[in-house]
Structures are given as C-alpha cells and as structure tokens.
Amino acid sequence: FATYFEGLTYEAGLRFGPFRTWLEGRRNNVFQTTDGSVYVNDTTSVSRIFNGRLSYSKGALVLHTIRWVLGDDDFFQALRNYLNDPDLQYGFAKTPDLQHHFEMQSGKDLDYFFQDWIYGEGYPVYTLSWSQDGDQELRLTLHQTPSHPSVSMFEIPVPIQLVGANETYDWVVDNTENDQTFTVNPGFAVEEVIFDPDLKILALFNGEVTSADDVKLSSAEFQIRPNPAQNEVWVEFAQDEIPTSYQVFDLQGKLVMESVATPGKNLNVSGFAPGMYNLKVETKSGKTGIATFVKE
C-alpha cells in the first residue's frame, strides 16, 4: 500500500513527474524475472518479506490492477471501509480481510483474482492479432501466456485502443480464455491497435501486433517441447505443415536467434539467458505463428 500510495501522489500531481513514468519503472522491476508471488510463503526470510520486486513493486501494481477491475468508486470506498473496520482497528489484518471489503463493496466474487494475482506467481504475457473488413467489423484475437506455470490463465478485462486516421475507439474486452476472439465495429478504418494504452493492468505485451491474416497456426498445429527448456527445444508441427524459418525474440522484442528451419533438428537455446522468449515460425504453406517458451 505504501508503494502504491507513493504512485498516487504522482497521479494527483503532488510530486514532480508523470504517473506513467512511475508505473513504467515499477513494471520494469517486476518484469526482470518471470516468477514470484505477492504472497510471502516463507515468513522466516527477511529478504523475501521485504523483497522490492514482489512485496513492493508487484504488490503496488496488483492494487492498480484491481482498481481497474473494480473502478475508482468501489476501489477507494472499499479501502475506506477496510481502514475503518472496527474488527481490524488496533490489530492486524490479513489478505482475506482486504478481499472481503473489496467483494462487499463491489458485489463481485474476487476469489479468482486473488488466487491468480496474489497467491499465484508471475504475470500474463500477451500477443494479439487483428483484421478488419474495410471500415466495418474488426476481429481481435488475444493470446496469453502466463509467465509461470502456477497460473493457467489470468482472467482480466483488457483495455484496447483502436486508432484511425483522425479518431480513436476505446474498447474493453473480458479476457477469460486463451486465444479468445472479440469483434466490434468502431465505425472507421483502423490503422493501429494499442494494447492497454494507459497501463491499467500488470501484463507484459511483447510488442508484436500482427494482422490476423498472417497468424494462422494454432497451438494445435505446432508446439514447443520441452517447455520450460534448458538446452534445446523441439518444435512439433501438424503433419501437413513444413517449417521454413524460425525467429526467436526476447520479451522486449529483440531478435536473439534467426535460422532456416531444418526438419528433425532441435533449436539450441543453451546460450540464452533464463527467461521467456517468443518463437515465430513460418511454414511452406505461408502460415505463421507465435509460441512462447521459458528458458531455465
């Protein structure tokens, strides 16, 4: 809370500097590695209790994320109720007490949120693809890869901004499953799609926005094994797909490997730094696809 309230002083203009810069700094701190929960599972470890990345930066950004989920009115009123709860005054509070006040104020069941964002490790990593029929219906597909296997899917409303030549359209999609497709008619030809333009959620976007017409390989058509990997990864394709090229990017979008695909040959990743990577593949049929893997 202390860390997030520091951020709110920037948002309110009480300190010099933009709130977005503060958010970016905290996010970069969290994204340094792919694991770790806000919940402290070893209370005998002083270094873990006061871990700057998890207890402070991630804790603050999870509060910012639930503020987005609830809306400002319910978020701040729930905090007032929490602060003035006579059962907690002059004592101590636990995470379920905070969850209770958020739920009572908003009327929402937030068990899924706390399981994923407080007790689970890591954060969601996103790519998206989109296509539009002229200036009519736009189709958007979100692909989410949790950075740690303790969470199978981070369910979260995702803010999207559609940008045209002279106008914008703000859109919120409720992302509850992977490779989920949404449609909307913004009323103009879209030139750019921006993921979470105001940094409302703790999620890493890998910078690759592609036309949906270019991303046709589904997770059923190609897979990476093993994942996580240590020294090599094997890319398996559906029987009718023949790979022609591989590109590997880190989560900042930097190309770290590029090669011609050789059927039956593994990719050597032994020299990669530990972390998450995106593998982009192209096949002889002209299809492309992206999959994420973890290097241990």
Where does a domain end: 170, 185, 213?
A: 213
Number of domain units in the chain: 3
For residues 8 and 97, membership in a common domain is answered with yes
How far apart CA 63 and CA 1 sit, in angstroms, is 8
> Considering the chain, what is the average pLDDT of its residues?
90
Output the domain CATH number for residue 74: 1.10.390.10
Contacts of 18 (CB under 8 A, 6+ apart): 10
Query: Hey, what are 54's tokens?
Result: 């998890």
For residues 109 and 195, membership in a common domain is answered with no
pLDDT attached to residue 24: 94
CB atoms within 10 A of CB 265: 12
For residues 6 and 92, membership in a common domain is answered with yes
How far apart CA 246 and CA 45 sit, in angstroms, is 43
**Residue at 106: amino acid letter:** S
Domain that holds residue 190: 124-213
For residues 135 and 154, membership in a common domain is answered with yes
- H and E: helices and strands count for the chain: 7, 14
pLDDT attached to residue 14: 87
For residues 10 and 75, membership in a common domain is answered with yes
For residues 7 and 36, membership in a common domain is answered with yes
Output the domain CATH number for residue 244: 2.60.40.1220
Whether the full predicted model's pTM is greater than 0.75, yes or no, is yes
How far apart CA 222 and CA 238 sit, in angstroms, is 6
For residues 112 and 137, membership in a common domain is answered with no
For residues 114 and 8, membership in a common domain is answered with yes
pLDDT attached to residue 278: 84
Q: What is the pLDDT along the chain (296 residues), one digit of tens a residue?
A: 999 999 999 999 988 889 999 999 999 999 988 899 999 999 999 999 999 999 999 999 999 999 999 999 999 999 999 999 999 988 889 999 999 999 999 999 999 999 999 999 999 999 888 888 888 899 999 989 898 999 999 999 999 999 999 999 999 999 999 889 999 999 999 999 999 999 999 999 976 656 555 555 666 677 888 888 889 988 887 766 788 888 898 876 778 998 888 766 788 999 998 888 888 888 887 777 778 888 88
For residues 231 and 283, membership in a common domain is answered with yes
Where does a domain end: 196, 213, 230?
A: 213
Where does a domain end: 182, 213, 244?
A: 213
For residues 133 and 196, membership in a common domain is answered with yes
For residues 91 and 129, membership in a common domain is answered with no
Contacts of 169 (CB under 8 A, 6+ apart): 161, 162, 184, 186, 187, 188, 190
For residues 188 and 230, membership in a common domain is answered with no
Query: Hey, what are 72's tokens?
Result: 């400002």
Output the domain CATH number for residue 209: 2.60.40.1840
